[in-house]
Structure 1
């Protein structure tokens, strides 16, 4: 009887959940393959080609790449132009980043309890809509130095009895661009941080206020811990964007010329100059070597930032 009973027991049929998983697996590659192909063609392969060409001497069309080992890297590190570019880029990353996030945090503290905060947030975001070239042209008029016909910045300085400054002089243009970037970029990060602040339950601020917390204490003990993950992402975005700064410096530091003076360069301008050749002969090997240095720098900075910003997520 036992044998007969076992024989008539129906075999388990595959459930609908199992069939759904099989269908998902079948659809995986048809959906992923186009995106993967584009990623491979437009990012992975060019990156590999850049690394390979950085070990060659190549003047572009009509010339054949010749292997030169680490010669391009040695020349690059010994070049004054690269040292200026590297220094200025780090200034934009660290000084500009600190200033931008200080402004973003200050506005976040104010806008959270301000009537019409969303309107102000939209106004602050406006510079990010404008193309960097147009923004650079506008700031060129603002920082203009011309006795008798000063730009807005020098007009305000002279109106209060101060001496007009040559903001766009090669020795000062890096700091003028840093200030411009802080002003233009802060609205973007204010928007990101305010989106994170909007998620925080209001009763946490009410409890802090009942306990007698000051605005700074509410920010340090409530806002910052509960938006820490968003701050980390914003820091990564800033690092990547700051390393690619090109248009704003190119327009402000070198209007009407082929390229800005060497002491105002960034790594992006260094790659541009070596690619198109300020002396008429491009050097794609040197340009690729600088591009590889940029990839290495952004990788190191992002990894360090992610490690420094690593904290356990706070549930609320």
Structure 2
């Protein structure tokens, strides 16, 4: 029995006939109605507190300005002067070294600890111990390092007792930056290990049991189960490290500086350079140069973050 096909109803005004509410459901239409009332206030706050200051900083970076007097137009010449400054180039190299070298060491240790903790019975207690340094402000570690590693401090005293005639000069200018990186690795390792372990705890246990029955050792279970299924969380941790490593400031200040002096230029990162330009000790503030350096750091972090997200992007693994 044939069924006659009816023509769709015509639309007034000669327009083309369209199905009513095509491709939408009442729930979807409700979501669209409440989208802007919920998102709008957050976007407004974000724009006022973040986008507007960034725009003002970009405008300020084109001037020579001490923060109080009149502004003098320089344009992009500020950026040329910035990259000709040896102190800024040193701070930029140090920032990249913290980001890549410190990050590689941090995640290598974190993944190794994840491999070990996954097989431990007391892993919750061990995770709490590893996370403890994250609860202490970085300035405390800077002050403690100045006490422990000073020439007459406890570390060198113990080395003298052990027969070392000339202990290392831990806080000498040549050793200061490696000490800063080592402290950052120590304080960050527990934090990222705790995040990765939280993702590992969500992996079904039967996957590990099946792999163990097939004869896979701990390393193979980590490589073929833990790493793929926790990869999304690891990539997020890489982005968090990228952002946080550029903002390190107080640890460098406490390691190499004091109430009357700034840290040696060899230990500066871009955040320290911005501080030194905005609050110099012997000259007028250079807010134009400071904001220019801050914007270079912002662009650098944005580019590296996008590159990391693209390089670490993988297809979702279902289990």
Give the TM-score of the pair, scaled to structure 1: 0.88
Question: Does 1:181 pair with 2:188?
Answer: no
Q: Are 1:249 and 2:252 matched, yes or no?
A: yes
Does 1:43 pair with 2:46?
no
Structure 1 residues 156 and 195, CA gap change in structure 2 (3 angstroms) = farther
* Structure 1 residue corresponding to 2:195, chosen from 180, 192, 209: 192
Q: 1:198 and 1:287 mapped to 2: Cα distance? A: 44
| Among 73, 78, 93, the residue aligned to 1:72 | 78
The partner residue of 2:225 within 207, 222, 226 is 222
Match of 2:315 in 1: 312
Change beyond 3 A, Cα 1:78–1:32:
same
Q: How far did residue 210 of structure 1 move?
A: 2.3
Offset, 1:89: 0.8
- How far apart are the structure 1 equivalents of 2:206 and 2:28? 43
Cα displacement (A) at 1:159: 4.6
- Please show how residues 94-173 of structure 1 align to structure 2 within 5 Å: 94-146=100-152, 150-152=153-155, 154-162=156-164, 163-173=166-176
Paired residue for 2:215?
A: 212
Q: Distance in 2 between matches of 1:222 and 1:161?
A: 48
Give the superposition deviation at 1:239. Answer: 0.6
Give the C-alpha shift of residue 21 in structure 1: 5.6
Instruction: Give deviations 1:167-189, integer Å, cap 9, x for gaps.
Output: 22121111001110111010110
Corresponding position of 1:6: none
RMSD: 2.0
Aligned residues: 297
| Matches of 2:149 and 2:310, distance apart in 1 | 39
Instruction: Using the TM superposition, give the Cα deviation of residue 24 of structure 1 relative to its aligned residue in structure 2, in angstroms.
Output: 4.8
Q: Deviations over 1:152-179 (max 9, x none)?
A: 3x34544544442122212111100111
Q: Which residue of 2 aligns with 1:9?
A: none
After superposition, the Cα gap between the structure-2 partners of 1:210 and 1:19, relative to the gap in structure 1 and judged at 3 Å, is closer
* Distance change (3 Å), C-alpha of 1:158 and 1:110: farther
Question: Could you say which residue in structure 2 is the equivalent of 1:3?
Answer: none
Q: Deviations over 1:6-41 (max 9, x none)?
A: xxxxxxxx9xx9666665555443433332221111
Deviation, 1:127, is: 1.1
Partner SS state of residue 174, structure 2: coil
Structure 1 unaligned segments of length 5 or more: list them: 1-13
Whole-angstrom distance in 2 between the partners of 1:256 and 1:250: 10
| Distance 1:304-1:19 versus aligned 2 partners, 3 A rule | closer
Match of 1:295 in 2: 298
Give how far 1:241 is off.
0.5
Equivalents in 2 of 1:308, 1:22: separation in Å? 36
Hey, what's the Cα distance between the residues in 2 that align with 1:194 and 1:214? 19
Hey, what's the Cα distance between the residues in 1 that align with 2:237 and 2:157? 35
**1:288-313 CA distances to partner (integer Å, 9 max, x unpaired)?**
11011101110111111111101111
How far residue 145 of structure 1 moved from its aligned partner, in angstroms, is: 2.1
Q: Which residue of 2 aligns with 1:10?
A: none
* TM superposition score normalised by structure 2: 0.87
